[in-house]
């Protein structure tokens, strides 16, 4: 019993045939082919699959694709000329906020949701924003520094 | 050793610089390529039927309903596996090596989650549904879940053909333990239980196998950490020669050792593809990973420690039992690998070790960050604290008393390991200063009066790197492996750029970046001109039987191979330039992308022009020089096999780290909150500080996680109780302390650039935290035996002592 939905991903419209039980993660990865969004547990326990839906960070493995129909979805691949996303990417690169790269798309998406609401978060606020994301490589320190760096970049601050 | 530390002739531009990683550039855009990101035409999806019981005979399996499900293409059954493949080669010795180890259960299941069959279907969902339709009738057997009972009073035999549950038994005797026991003022007895956990990489195991019948060619994309090391396994199990199998890795989402034993799944999915004649992809679920990938082995220690009253530790008399689970699939290598760090950081001269590894009905054990050295270091660092407690001395004092000093470096341990260089006392001094240790101890005692329980933990461990495979001969003399070697192929392309292919198989250690830094440094070119191929490929990359990334080996082995390749290529470039420019080689230097004469600036040729000549105009080359600019270099770390007394140097580099932890224990909840964390790390010469700091942080996080949160707990029936992230409790951002990192940078005199391997971190954090908790528990007169301190465990210990109702 397929259904047809429209997904707005990274400011592009995708018309896809889905099954009602298919997750947003499955549809993004397998049907649309945006493989930047990862999956690490498929049970809402690791955050590798995080995307931004209508401004909020959500687990794409825990949302059914049809629930995202008509909503504004952002994935790590992003849209052109997104200043905030560019700043976050720069922050992660400069501060070494990743190692294997598997959790990175999810962290970048959570950071995006955080910084779009709160451009100058404290260290504690950053930690709180990432409670849904696991990283097994970095011990998180450089991820926090990456977000702080991104925050500086969007505020136009010079590097300390 | 084959090479000594080099001095580069000019100020370094790239080595030592915190260069942004090349890998990051793609990962921040979601452009990394992992196994699950690949799709092939005609590809099927696999799901694996697994055992629900820990130990049972399989009476009957009915595949009929599963086969009838629309979309199911085929099922790989145990009969297929036995028909199509040969049992996996065993690392251990007879009688344990009599085990017929197949990637699926044959006749009997031996742990919960053991594969039984593979369904290949048009979609993953159909494959999973079909797995549910496979009916297995079991005859349950008693489960073997306690390692000590497995040895002394087994409820059952995991493998009848072995005749016992002993996987291996070894005895090592270094120095003279009897003499040490006689000379001791006291003998302190210590019992410890190093628990079962793993680093649970976020990318699950994954295999995409594609078998081409017409070519008899198998191509596999996988995330194994050392595919070339596994070639004998693949060859034996798949009955294919090396040149009919191609193993490719790309980006790997974390490994930490856990992705070494996934060769079993590589074989299983390859067999499925060979049976159906189509590409088959399998991606492990998280619960499958927890149940049936790889756990770090448990080790139970009973140690007698001869000491002098002044705190001198004379020796260690160790009886230990490793719980290695249901199969010997890399284990019992843990019975020898610990011997890289026999005395830890201390001048302990006499060590006797009587070690068993046993089969149990649990997930097969395999390497995990700090493989085999972490449990041993855990024991030594607990011993140091317990000795201090028994003798009423300060744990820092006892360490200072026993440390090997800088003046004794390079230091030869009782079993012949040569610690390259380091300053252990200084590393502790830095930690003590950062903690304001003396004041802190005073404050701790004052706070006791207020009913507040501060704990201070310190520990020093060694992270031995670039291991000597000869050590496995101490366990099994027939294994054909010695030393350690790595390969690198380096090309200067006709447009003046560089391409590097390595035998290493990175999983997040930034080998592309660090290798580029070395090549860019030697040729004095921008790092952007150097491309290091992502991942590994047995068809296109050079390799040795040791190639891969494990055992903190890249900093010596990968760097050694790349550095040697660069030297070879540089020599050829200079020879050609000398001929073309008609200039003596001794006056030629590489500068800014050109070869220039140091005495006549008119004589200069760009690398771009030189390489065009090398590939396109061989008539312009010197007569004895082949065209082209491709070199392959193999670097060997010079280590040889142990002698009959089991003495040899077992690693090339010995980086070390001292950690200091302060925390407060709440006796009412059992919660231990870390309030300060200090790290001193010595990785020798640092090529990229960003990368090294990342490894140091990550290793600390894993250690803290193991101490406070993570355990694979089994019940008495062999059912795993922590099979998702929700109950396994890997720490999140809010669960870990801030880390204060200091570096000592004492180069290794043995590795090619003076760098020491740094990836594993030696398990320092784990034992430092446990030491801190035991310190906080000392006013209650109780001590943890286990290496994990959950609030429940702490609460029970305190309550038991205080006579509180539980």
- pLDDT (tens digit, 9 = 90+) per residue, B250-279? 999 999 999 999 999 999 999 999 999 999
> Chain B neighbours among A 86-105 (CB < 8 Å)?
88-89, 92-96, 98-105
CB under 8 A, 24+ apart: contacts of B67-73 = B67/B130, B69/B121, B69/B126, B69/B129, B69/B130, B69/B133, B70/B126, B71/B121, B71/B122, B71/B123, B71/B126, B72/B119, B72/B120, B72/B121, B72/B126, B72/B127, B72/B130, B73/B44, B73/B120, B73/B121, B73/B122, B73/B276, B73/B278
What's the whole-number mean pLDDT along residues B732-737? Answer: 96
On the question of pLDDT at B804 being above 70, the answer is no
Q: With contact defined as beta carbons under 8 Å apart, do B625 and B617 qualify?
A: no
Q: Is the pLDDT of residue B354 over 50?
A: yes
DSSP B208: E
pLDDT level of residue B13 (50, 70, 90 thresholds): confident
How many interchain CB pairs under 8 A, A with B? 169
d(CA B441, CA A138): 31
HSE of B255, CA atoms in CB hemisphere, 13 A: 30
Phi then psi for B491, rounded to 5 degrees?
-125, 135
What is the C-alpha radius of gyration for chain B, rounded to an integer number of angstroms? 27
What local confidence, expressed as pLDDT, does residue B3 receive? 34
Residue A157 pLDDT exceeds 80: no
- Put simply, the answer to whether B27 touches A101 (Cβ < 8 Å) is yes
**CA B519 centroid distance within chain:** 26
Residues B271 and B304 reside in one and the same domain: no
Note whether B704 and B681 are same-domain residues: yes
Give the CATH number for residue B60: 3.90.1170.50
- The angle subtended at Cα B630 by Cα B629 and Cα B635, nearest 5°, is 130
Confidence of residue B801 (pLDDT cuts 50, 70, 90): confident
pLDDT at B48 over 60: yes
| Lookup result for tokens 């976020």 | B202
CA torsion sign for B792, B793, B795, B800 is positive
Sort out which chain B residues have CB atoms less than 8 A from A135's CB and list them. 202
Q: Of B587, B608, B636, which one is at a domain's C-terminal end?
A: B636
Q: Do B34 and A130 touch (CB under 8 A)?
A: no
CA distance A47 to chain B (A): 10
Q: What is the C-alpha to C-alpha distance for residues B783 and B770, in angstroms, rounded to an integer?
A: 10
The pair of structure tokens assigned to B258 is 């856990």
pLDDT of residue B27: 98
Name the minimum distance, in Å, from the CA of A7 to any CA of chain B: 19
Interchain contact, B736 vs A140, CB within 8 Å: yes
Using the beta-carbon criterion (under 8 Å), do A41 and B34 form an inter-chain contact?
no
**pLDDT at residue B130 above 60?**
yes
Please tell me the predicted confidence (pLDDT) of residue B799.
87
CA distance B365 to chain A (A): 20
* Mean pLDDT across B210-230: 97
CATH top class, domain A83-154: mainly alpha
Same-domain check for residues B117 and B220: yes
Q: Report the mean per-residue pLDDT for chain A.
A: 96
Distance from the Cα of A6 to chain B's closest Cα (Å) equals 22
Q: How many helices (H) and strands (E) does chain B have?
A: 21, 29
- Which residue in chain A has the smallest CA separation from B289? A41
The whole-number average pLDDT for the span B377-406 is: 98
Domain presence at residue B544? yes
Same domain, B432 and B516: no
Q: Which residues contact B555 (CB under 8 A, 6 or more apart)?
A: B465, B466, B653, B683, B684, B687, B751, B755, B756, B757, B758
- Comparing CA positions, the residue from A146, A113, A104 lying closest to residue B31 is A104
A109 in contact with B, Cβ within 8 Å? no
> B706-717 b/e with 16+ CB inside 10 Å = b?
bbbbbbbbbeee
Closest among A10, A113, A102 to A57, alpha carbons compared: A113
- Give yes or no for residue B166 having a pLDDT over 50: yes
Please give the residue of chain B at the shortest CA–CA distance from A129. Answer: B733
Torsion sign over Cα B756, B757, B762, B766: positive
Rounded Cα distance between B272 and B84, Å, is: 10
Residues B136 and B259 in one domain: yes
Residues of A in contact with B204 (CB under 8 A): 40
Residues B614 and B549 in one domain: yes
Total domain count, chain B = 3
Q: Whole-angstrom Cα distance, residue A96 to residue B22?
A: 11
Cβ within 8 Å of B, A 49-68: none
Helix (H) or strand (E) holding B588: strand B588-591
Q: Which tokens hold the place of A90?
A: 């720069």
Query: Is A141 an interface residue toward B (CB < 8 Å)?
Result: yes
Res B1 pLDDT > 60: no
pLDDT(B796) > 80 = yes
Residues B128 and B275 in one domain: yes
CB contact under 8 A, A78 and B29: yes
Fold of A3-74: Ubiquitin-like (UB roll) (3.10.20)
Alpha carbons within 13 A on the beta-carbon side of A46: 28
Mean pLDDT of B793-799: 92
Parallel/antiparallel/unpaired status of strands A50-53 and B315-323: unpaired
Contact B202 A43 (CB under 8 A): no
> Which residues of chain B have a CB within 8 Å of the CB of A78?
29
Measure CB to CB from residue A41 to each of B20, B510, B725 and give the nearest one: B725
Examine residue B98 and state whether it is found in any structural domain, yes or no.
Answer: yes
Q: How close A71 gets to chain B, by Cα (Å)? A: 21
Residue B29 has its nearest CB partner, among A76, A132, A142, at A76
Whether residue B693 and residue A41 make contact (CB cut-off 8 A), yes or no, is no
Residue intervals in chain A for CATH 1.10.150.120: 83-154
The SS3 call for residue B5 is coil
Element (H, E) at B173: strand B166-174
Q: Is residue B16 part of a domain?
A: no
B456 and B495 share a domain? Answer: no
Q: Do B256 and A126 touch (CB under 8 A)?
A: no
Residue of B nearest to A89 (CA): B28
Joined tokens for residue A18: 């889905």
Residues constituting chain A: 160
Question: At B767, is the secondary structure helix, strand, or coil?
Answer: helix
Q: How confident is the model at residue B22 (pLDDT cuts 50, 70, 90)?
A: very high
CA distance B354 to B179: 17
Rounded average pLDDT over B169-181: 98
Q: What is the mean pLDDT of residues A15-44?
A: 97
Q: Is the ipTM of this complex over 0.95?
A: yes
- DSSP 3-state assignment of A63? coil
Residue B289: inside a domain, yes or no?
Answer: no
Q: In chain B, whose CA is at the least distance from the CA of A34?
A: B30
Contact A137 B698 (CB under 8 A): yes
Chain B residue numbers with beta carbons less than 8 Å from the beta carbon of A95 are 690
Are B561 and B601 in contact by the 8 Å Cβ rule? The answer is no
The gap from C-alpha B373 to its chain's centroid, in whole angstroms, comes to: 10
Residue B609 placed within a domain: yes
* Segment B292-307 mean pLDDT: 98
- CA triplet B424, B427, B431: central angle to 5 degrees? 140
- Kindly state the average pLDDT of the residues B400-406: 98
Cβ–Cβ under 8 Å, residues B91 and B333:
yes
The answer to whether the CB atoms of B733 and A131 lie below 8 A apart is yes
Mean pLDDT score of chain B, rounded to an integer?
96
Shortest CA distance from B731: residue in chain A: A134
Helix axes A141-154, B689-708, angle to 10 degrees: 130
| Position B607 in a domain | yes
B430 three-class SS: helix
In this structure, the answer to whether residues B502 and B361 fall within a common structural domain is no
Question: Where is B218: in which H helix or E strand?
Answer: strand B217-222
Q: Which pLDDT score, from 0 to 100, does residue B8 have?
A: 43
Q: Which H or E run contains B517?
A: helix B511-523
CATH of the domain at B508: 3.30.365.10
Residue of A nearest to B124 (CA): A26
Statement to judge: residues B668 and B597 lie in one domain: no
What is the CA B177 to chain-centroid distance, rounded?
31
Yes or no, beta carbons of A40 and B286 under 8 Å apart? yes
CB contact (8 A) between residue A41 and residue B25 = no
Residues of chain A contacting residue B510, judged by C-beta atoms under 8 Å apart: 99
d(C-alpha B339, C-alpha B416), whole Å: 10
Q: Which residue pairs from B61-67 have beta carbons closer than 8 angstroms and sit at least 24 positions apart in sequence?
A: B61/B116, B61/B117, B61/B134, B61/B135, B61/B136, B61/B137, B62/B134, B62/B135, B62/B136, B62/B137, B63/B117, B63/B134, B65/B133, B65/B134, B65/B135, B66/B119, B66/B130, B66/B131, B66/B133, B66/B134, B67/B130
B31 contacts on A by Cβ (under 8 Å): 36, 77
Mutate one of B678, B733, B761 to test the A interface: name it (highest A CB count within 10 A). Answer: B733
- What domain range is B603 assigned to? 22-32+485-636
Q: Does A23 touch chain B (CB under 8 A)?
A: no
Question: Is the CA virtual torsion A79, A81, A87, A90 positive or negative?
Answer: positive
pLDDT at A158 over 70: no
Contact state of B18 with A96 under an 8 Å Cβ cutoff? yes
Which residues are within 8 A (CB) of A151 and not within 5 positions of it... i.e. 6 or more apart?
Answer: A91, A115, A119, A120, A121
For residue B524 the two structure tokens come to: 């004095």
Residue of B nearest to A125 (CA): B734
Same domain, B46 and B65: yes
- Residue B806: pLDDT band (50, 70, 90) is low
**What confidence score (pLDDT) does residue B9 get?**
45
Q: Which of B26, B28, B38, B281 to mutate to test the interface with A (most CBs of A within 10 A)?
A: B28
Chain B residues with beta carbon closer than 8 angstroms to that of A101: 23-24, 26-27, 32, 251, 253, 508
Distance of CA B213 to the CA centre of its chain: 36
Q: How far apart are CA A55 and CA A74, in angstroms?
A: 8
For residue B146, tell me if it sits in a domain: no
CA distance A67 to chain B (A): 20
Chain A residues whose beta carbon lies within 8 Å of the beta carbon of residue B730? 134, 136
CA–CA separation, A17 vs A28, rounded Å?
12
CB B120 within 8 A of CB B74: yes
Task: Using the predicted structure, report yes or no on whether residue B4 has a pLDDT greater than 50.
Answer: no
Residues B223, B105, single domain; the answer is yes
> What is the percent of chain B with per-residue pLDDT over 70, rounded to a whole number?
98
Question: Quick check: B660 and B504 in contact, CB under 8 A?
Answer: no
- In contact, B477 and B782? CB cutoff 8 Å: no
Of B37, B694, B730, the CB nearest to A134: B730
Residue B765 inside a domain? The answer is yes
Question: Which residue among A45, A101, A140 sits closest to B724, beta carbon to beta carbon?
Answer: A45
Q: What is the mean pLDDT of residues B361-373?
A: 97
Show residues of chain A in contact with B28, CB under 8 Å. Answer: 76, 88-89, 92-93, 98, 104, 108
A140·B701 Cβ contact <8 A: yes
Give the gap in angstroms from C-alpha B341 to the nearest C-alpha of chain A: 25
Which residue bears the tokens 């990968």? B558
Nearest to A128 among B28, B254, B734 (CB): B734
């Amino acid at each position: 019993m397929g259904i047809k939905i429209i997904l707005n991903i990274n400011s592009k419209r995708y018309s896809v045939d889905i099954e009602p039980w298919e997750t947003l993660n499955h549809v993004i990865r397998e049907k649309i082919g945006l493989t930047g969004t990862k999956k690490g547990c498929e049970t809402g326990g690791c955050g590798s699959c995080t995307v931004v839906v209508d401004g909020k960070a959500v687990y794409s493995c825990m949302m059914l694709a049809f629930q995202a129909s008509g909503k504004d979805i952002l994935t790590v691949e992003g849209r052109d000329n997104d200043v905030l996303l560019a700043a976050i990417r720069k922050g992660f690169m400069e501060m070494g906020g990743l190692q294997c790269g598997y959790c990175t798309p999810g962290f970048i998406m959570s950071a995006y949701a955080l910084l779009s609401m709160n451009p100058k978060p404290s260290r504690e606020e950053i930690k709180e924003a990432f409670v849904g994301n696991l990283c097994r490589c970095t011990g998180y320190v450089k991820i926090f520094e990456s977000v702080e760096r991104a925050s500086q970049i969007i505020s136009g601050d010079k590097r300390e | 050793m084959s090479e000594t530390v080099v001095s580069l002739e000019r100020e370094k531009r790239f080595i030592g610089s915190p260069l942004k990683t090349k890998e990051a550039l793609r990962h921040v855009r979601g452009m990394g390529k992992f196994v699950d990101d690949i799709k092939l035409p005609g590809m099927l999806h696999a799901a694996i039927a697994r055992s629900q019981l820990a130990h049972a005979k399989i009476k009957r399996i009915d595949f009929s309903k599963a086969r009838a499900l629309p979309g199911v293409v085929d099922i790989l059954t145990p009969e297929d596996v036995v028909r199509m493949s040969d049992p996996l080669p065993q690392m251990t010795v007879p009688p344990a090596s009599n085990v017929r180890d197949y990637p699926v259960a044959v006749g009997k299941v031996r742990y919960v989650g053991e594969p039984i069959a593979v369904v290949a279907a048009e979609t993953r969902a159909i494959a999973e549904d079909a797995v549910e339709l496979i009916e297995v009738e079991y005859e349950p057997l008693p489960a073997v879940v306690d390692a000590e009972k497995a040895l002394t009073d087994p409820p059952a035999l995991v493998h009848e053909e072995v005749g016992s549950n002993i996987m291996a038994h070894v005895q090592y005797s270094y120095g003279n333990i009897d003499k040490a026991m006689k000379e001791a003022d006291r003998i302190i007895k210590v019992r410890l239980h190093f628990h079962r956990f793993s680093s649970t990489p976020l990318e699950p195991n994954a295999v995409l196998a594609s078998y081409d019948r017409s070519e008899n060619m198998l191509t596999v994309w996988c995330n194994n950490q050392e595919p070339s090391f596994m070639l004998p396994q693949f060859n034996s199990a798949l009955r294919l020669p090396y040149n009919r199998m191609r193993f490719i890795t790309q980006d790997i989402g974390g490994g930490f050792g856990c992705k070494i034993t996934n060769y079993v799944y590589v074989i299983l999915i390859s067999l499925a593809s060979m049976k159906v004649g189509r590409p088959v992809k399998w991606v492990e679920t998280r619960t499958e990973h927890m149940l049936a990938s790889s756990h770090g082995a448990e080790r139970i220690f009973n140690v007698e420690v001869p000491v002098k009253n002044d705190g001198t530790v004379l020796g260690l008399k160790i009886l230990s039992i490793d719980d290695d689970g249901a199969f010997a699939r890399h284990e019992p290598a843990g019975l020898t690998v610990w011997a890289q760090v026999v005395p830890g950081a201390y001048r302990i001269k006499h060590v006797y070790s009587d070690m068993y590894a046993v089969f149990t009905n649990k997930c097969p054990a395999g390497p995990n960050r700090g493989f085999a050295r972490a449990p041993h270091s855990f024991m030594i660092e607990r011993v140091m604290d317990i000795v201090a407690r028994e003798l009423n001395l300060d744990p820092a004092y006892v360490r200072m008393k026993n440390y090997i000093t800088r003046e004794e470096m390079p230091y030869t341990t009782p079993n012949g390991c040569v610690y390259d260089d380091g300053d252990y006392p200084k590393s502790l001094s830095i930690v003590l200063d950062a903690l304001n240790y003396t004041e802190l101890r005073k404050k701790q005692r004052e706070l006791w009066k207020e009913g507040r329980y501060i704990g201070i933990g310190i520990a020093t461990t060694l992270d031995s790197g670039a291991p000597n495979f000869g050590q496995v001969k101490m366990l099994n003399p027939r294994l054909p492996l010695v030393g350690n070697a790595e390969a690198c192929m380096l090309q200067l392309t006709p447009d003046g750029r560089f391409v590097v292919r390595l035998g290493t198989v990175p999983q997040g250690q930034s080998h592309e970046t660090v290798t580029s830094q070395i090549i860019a440094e030697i040729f004095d070119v921008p790092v952007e001109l150097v491309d290091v191929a992502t991942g590994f490929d047995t068809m296109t990359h050079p390799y040795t039987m040791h190639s891969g990334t494990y055992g903190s080996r890249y900093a010596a082995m990968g760097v050694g191979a790349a550095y040697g390749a660069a030297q070879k290529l540089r020599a050829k470039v200079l020879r050609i330039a000398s001929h073309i420019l008609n200039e003596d080689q001794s006056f030629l230097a590489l500068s800014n992308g050109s070869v220039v004469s140091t005495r006549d600036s008119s004589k200069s040729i760009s690398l771009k022009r030189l390489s065009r000549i090398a590939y396109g105009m061989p008539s312009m080359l010197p007569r004895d020089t082949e065209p082209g600019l491709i070199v392959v270099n193999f670097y060997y770390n010079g280590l040889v096999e142990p002698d009959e007394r089991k003495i040899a140097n077992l690693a090339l580099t010995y980086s070390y780290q001292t950690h200091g932890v302060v925390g407060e224990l709440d006796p009412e909840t059992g919660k231990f909150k870390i309030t300060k964390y200090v790290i001193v790390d010595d990785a020798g010469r640092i090529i990229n500080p960003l990368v090294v700091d990342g490894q140091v942080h990550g290793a600390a996080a894993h250690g803290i996680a193991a101490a406070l949160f993570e355990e694979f707990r089994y019940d008495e029936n062999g059912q795993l109780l922590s099979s998702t992230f929700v109950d396994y409790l890997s720490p999140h951002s809010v669960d870990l302390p801030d880390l204060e990192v200091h570096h000592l940078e004492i180069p290794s005199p043995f590795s090619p650039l003076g760098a020491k391997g740094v990836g594993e971190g030696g398990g320092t954090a784990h034992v430092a935290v446990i030491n801190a908790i035991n310190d906080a528990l000392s006013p209650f007169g109780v001590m943890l035996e286990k290496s994990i301190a959950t609030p429940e465990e702490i609460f029970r210990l305190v309550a038991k002592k205080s006579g509180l109702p539980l």
